[in-house]
Amino acid sequence: MLAYQGGTAVRRGTYWNLSNGMREVLEREGTLPGNKAIRYLKAPPIVMVLMGPVIGFFYVLVLPFIGMAMILTILASRLGEMLVGALGTTAAFGWRPVEAYLMSRRKKAKRDDEPGRDEPKAPS
């Protein structure tokens, strides 16, 4: 396998653009599109055919671990949701954003101490 840069004069063949994954097929000698920052990879067709089973083998080898990781992720997220739900119902923070205390607490305490405040008035 050979590596080339964009703008390089090359022979005919199939080149793989590593920056975007696109394939460039040159029917005759020419230059690869792009500038020097773009890298291309040329592999003989026989190498590409032989790499298919090797890549498939590694995929089959890793697939059970991917499944286990997905299951563990789902279980951990469900456990986290349960813990947050349980703690959310039992924990009291004392901060209620919808309530506004516009009167000071001292005045409210004095009003509550006044006698007869909660008693109903007698009919006259």
Distance between CA atoms of 91 and 77, rounded to whole angstroms? 21
Q: Is residue 29 scored above 60 in pLDDT?
A: yes
Q: Is 52 left (phi over 0), alpha (psi -120 to 50) or beta?
A: alpha
Look at 100 and 43; give whichever has higher pLDDT. 43
Q: Is residue 77 scored above 90 in pLDDT?
A: yes
For the chain, helix (H) and strand (E) counts, in that order, are 2, 6
Q: Is residue 114 scored above 70 in pLDDT?
A: no
Note the pTM of the prediction, 2 decimals. 0.42
Q: What SS3 state is found at 98?
A: coil
